[in-house]
Structure 1
Amino acid sequence: MADWNESDYRRRVVDDELDFLLGALPAVSLEGPRAVGKTWTAQRRARTVYNLDDPATLALIQANPDRLTQGEEPIFIDEWQRYPPAWDLVRRAVDTRSTPGRFLLAGSTAPATPPTHSGAGRIVTLRMRPLSIYERQIEVPSVSLQELLDGGRPPLSGHTDVALERYADEVCTGGFPGWRSADPKVQRAVFGGYLDRAVDHDVALMGHRARQPSVVRRWLTAYAAATSTTATYETIRDAATSGQGDKPAKSTTIAYRDLLEAMWLVTPVQAWWSAGNPLSRLKRGPKHHLADPALAARLLDVTAGDLLSAAPATVGAFHPGPLLGALFESLVTLSIEVYGQAAGARVSHLRTWNDTREVDLIVQGHQRMLAMEIKLVSTPTRRDTRHLRWIAEQMDPEVVDTVIVTTGQHAYRDQDGIAVVPAALLGP
């Protein structure tokens, strides 16, 4: 294996999770979209690497499958879905010897042929996402999501010079590590190629050769337009099939949603629900997001300048307000999912059946809840925090803190005790 220069590696929040799991378990599978950094992260720990995206390596393994579990450990199997039997080979090897830290796997899509066994109890999966705001190192955070979730409503402080223009840039630059330093025009070309590869190449690898790439791209674009909304399936279907007289049945087209989720390109935030909760008639539908808001911006053909223009971009019925607000929420949601995973918390959203009340994110772990709103404002008003006050009243004492994430400069608590935190100052 090649030598790695530690100074070139930007440590991720997930690194601590991975180190812990590898020290306790025999096999860990990193899951997430292409180019998110799975390979680089795993290779730093591996002693033997099998890259199944390489035709020569794949041919050797197909000729002698047992080779895949041989070598100095940890053994890293990259793009394992290119040879689906790899999963079962690792599972059987773990059954034989369950010493911690034996195998690392990474995959960017679901395999065309699922493994014969789920791997439950043998192979633990770990989600890897694009870089959070904290991991992009644009600011030193002063507020910890973990400390907020611990309760006690700690006092807040901190100042940042990160302004709206920088957030718009971050939306379009994205959190894929290898592309962040490229010129914006180059980034647009790279994102275009990334999306082309996804719909032209990866779909076929998953065994969906009958799918037309143009149709898959239209569905992906419809989900991009619905970013940060709870748009119904029918609304998204209508956007994806615009111009078609007879709309396809849900049973016919639901496969497109499942396909995009299996590719880690569509990453919905599920609705919050808990048995015995005092709230009734909550919506069960997800809030829509792509893996990275930069992909949504590219699909919708907008730049940071477009998002900041005097006539800001909108996307029809999906977004009556500026598109930047939806994409900023998606950027913050991505970040909070990274921090929440590290804290062992589940991230969801809450919306009442009649849309009169909504909370952008509920972060729940260890019997504690954070209620969070995300607003494209520098100084929030009491109107901006009204849903946070409502949920705190309804769910006391489960809600240990309420937070509004903004584009402002200062972290503080407002007159109601709500944590006001600029996005750049929030970390794990």
Structure 2
Amino acid sequence: MIHRRLQAQLVSLLADYPAVALLGPRQVGKTTLAIEVSKNRDCIYLDLESAADRAKLSEPELYLNDHADKLVILDEVHRVPELFQPLRGLIDQGRRRGRRAGRFLLLGSASRELLQQSSETLAGRIAYLELAPFDTLEVNDDPQEKLWIRGGFPDSLLAADDKRSLIWRQNFIRTYLERDVPRLGPRIATETLRRFWVMLAHTQGGLLNAASLARGLDVTGKTIASYLDLMVDLLLVRRLSPWHRNVGKRLVKSPKIYVRDSGVLHGLLGLRDKEAVMSHPVIGSSWEGFVIENLVNVAPQGTEANFYRASGGAEIDLIVTLPGRRPWAIEIKRSLEPKLSKGFYFACEEIQPEAKYVVYPGEESFALSKDVTAVSLTSLAKTLRAA
């Protein structure tokens, strides 16, 4: 089994909080990680997609009080949102009895119901942790291009061949559309949401153009906003906000939109293998999104991620701002001989970054100019992780 970097952090949070919510899209490995951290604990596991396990919680206070000395893992907890209120009472009872941490591990697919219910009823009692698909630091024994083409979902990455990997991703997309989204959000026609998701894939890394998307689906801009909010809430799409700290500049104010997992992106576009990706117009924006997702996932907690684009052509693909630090400027190139435009340097003059990097698909690090270094994704991920 590939070791998950978040495992130590999850163990630490369970030692400090009575409840921890481990959030992430379906099939990302939440249950596997939960079982792994509970190996040396007295615990009980309930899958709330199981009618039998849901029946055990028909009287949650009675059942859970019988297991007050155990770590209770509640999988797919968003299926039973009415549980949050009794959990608050049980946590407060436990605190009065000296049991202040490690009571409940809640696993959810990041539905709005989960986030809203927990924030309203478990405030001050719960910590959150997001589990993303595998990143380059977790699978450094595998070729990075395999991770890029197949994405980081375990069953896709570890499939026996590219054909089986693509079939898994296509089934994942179909299951989300036909079963999971109707359970987790508002009622949306499956075909309409599929078309919306595919449209986002075709415009990967582009500025949000709600009017164009609305025309393509024959819906209103408000409806497009609700669809996008849903996909962002489910951790399937990233909405990268623009840098706008200098109000004196004419900066782009629309966010950039990315399908978060590169393998899912390729599945939406029907790209079966590396050759298909390399010959498709999405190649550059796919690589860009892959790099951004990896760097954001490994960055220290509290790091902000943005992009910079001004009307005059100044542009930076990714700006990461670590807590209490000046920003890092990161440009992303697919070429083995990366070259920077004047727009990058103009943007750097404006934001005055602490460091400047260009991520490219090669392995060696080298200076592109006096203060700009070309690096591999893995190298910069390690640097960012250690910062």
Shorter-chain TM-score range = 0.7 to 0.9
Corresponding residue for residue 380 of structure 1: 338
Given the alignment of the two structures, is residue 48 of structure 1 paired with residue 6 of structure 2, yes or no?
Answer: no
Corresponding residue for residue 403 of structure 1: 357
Question: Partner letter of residue 367 of structure 2?
Answer: R
Structure with bigger RCO (C-alpha 8 Å, 6+ apart) = 1
Question: Partner letter of residue 50 of structure 1?
Answer: L
Show structure 1 runs of 5+ residues with no match: 1-7, 140-161, 242-246, 315-322
Corresponding residue for residue 346 of structure 2: 390
TM-score normalised by length of structure 2: 0.87
Q: Distance in 1 between matches of 2:269 and 2:84?
A: 37
Count of paired positions: 368
The one-character-per-residue Cα deviations of 1:349-394 (angstroms, maximum 9, x if unpaired) are 2222x261221111112222111111111122243xx444333322
* Correspondence for 2:229 among 255, 258, 281: 258
Corresponding residue for residue 134 of structure 1: 137
CA contact (8 A) 1:30 1:104 kept: yes
1:66 and 1:420, CA in 2 relative to 1: closer, same or farther beyond 3 A? Answer: farther
Given the alignment of the two structures, is residue 175 of structure 1 paired with residue 152 of structure 2, yes or no?
Answer: yes
SS in structure 1 at match of 2:242: coil
Instruction: State the shift of 1:410 in Å.
Output: 0.7
Instruction: State the shift of 1:109 in Å.
Output: 4.1
Instruction: State the shift of 1:45 in Å.
Output: 2.2
1:355 and 1:38, CA in 2 relative to 1: closer, same or farther beyond 3 A? Answer: farther
The one-character-per-residue Cα deviations of 1:182-206 (angstroms, maximum 9, x if unpaired) are 1211111111111111111112212
Quick check: which one's helix share is greater? 2
Question: Partner letter of residue 259 of structure 1?
Answer: L
Corresponding residue for residue 288 of structure 2: 329
1:69 and 1:232, CA in 2 relative to 1: closer, same or farther beyond 3 A? Answer: farther
- 1:94-243 correspondence to structure 2 within 5 Å: 94-98=91-95, 99-110=100-111, 115=117, 117=120, 119-138=122-141, 167=145, 169-182=146-159, 183-206=161-184, 208-209=186-187, 211-239=188-216, 241=217
Q: Distance in 1 between matches of 2:121 and 2:315?
A: 36
Q: Distance in 1 between matches of 2:89 and 2:117?
A: 12
Question: Partner letter of residue 320 of structure 2?
Answer: V
Question: Partner letter of residue 61 of structure 1?
Answer: L
TM-score normalised by length of structure 1: 0.79
RMSD: 2.3
Instruction: State the shift of 1:404 in Å.
Output: 0.8
Instruction: State the shift of 1:21 in Å.
Output: 2.2
Q: Distance in 2 between matches of 1:132 and 1:105?
A: 23
- 1:228-377 correspondence to structure 2 within 5 Å: 228-239=205-216, 241=217, 247-274=218-245, 277=246, 280-303=249-272, 304-308=274-278, 312-314=279-281, 323-340=282-299, 342-352=300-310, 354=311, 356-368=313-325, 369-377=327-335
Q: Distance in 1 between matches of 2:88 and 2:253?
A: 35
Q: Distance in 1 between matches of 2:66 and 2:345?
A: 57
Q: Distance in 1 between matches of 2:168 and 2:378?
A: 26
SS in structure 1 at match of 2:186: coil
1:394 and 1:136, CA in 2 relative to 1: closer, same or farther beyond 3 A? Answer: same
Q: Distance in 2 between matches of 1:405 and 1:181?
A: 25
1:70 and 1:232, CA in 2 relative to 1: closer, same or farther beyond 3 A? Answer: farther
Question: Partner letter of residue 287 of structure 2?
Answer: F
SS in structure 1 at match of 2:239: coil
Q: Distance in 2 between matches of 1:115 and 1:345?
A: 26
The one-character-per-residue Cα deviations of 1:215-247 (angstroms, maximum 9, x if unpaired) are 1111111111121121311223334x2xxxxx3
1:54 and 1:291, CA in 2 relative to 1: closer, same or farther beyond 3 A? Answer: farther
Q: Distance in 2 between matches of 1:68 and 1:105?
A: 14
Corresponding residue for residue 77 of structure 1: 74
CA contact (8 A) 1:226 1:236 kept: no
1:64 and 1:367, CA in 2 relative to 1: closer, same or farther beyond 3 A? Answer: closer
- Once structures 1 and 2 are overlaid, which stretch shifts more, 16-25 or 363-372? 16-25
Q: Distance in 2 between matches of 1:214 and 1:390?
A: 44
Question: Partner letter of residue 207 of structure 2?
Answer: T
SS in structure 2 at match of 1:43: helix
Instruction: State the shift of 1:61 in Å.
Output: 1.4
Q: Distance in 1 between matches of 2:112 and 2:348?
A: 43
Show structure 2 runs of 5+ residues with no match: none
Q: Distance in 2 between matches of 1:202 and 1:45?
A: 26
Given the alignment of the two structures, is residue 22 of structure 1 paired with residue 14 of structure 2, yes or no?
Answer: yes
Question: Partner letter of residue 5 of structure 2?
Answer: V
SS in structure 2 at match of 1:289: strand
Q: Distance in 2 between matches of 1:112 and 1:105?
A: 13
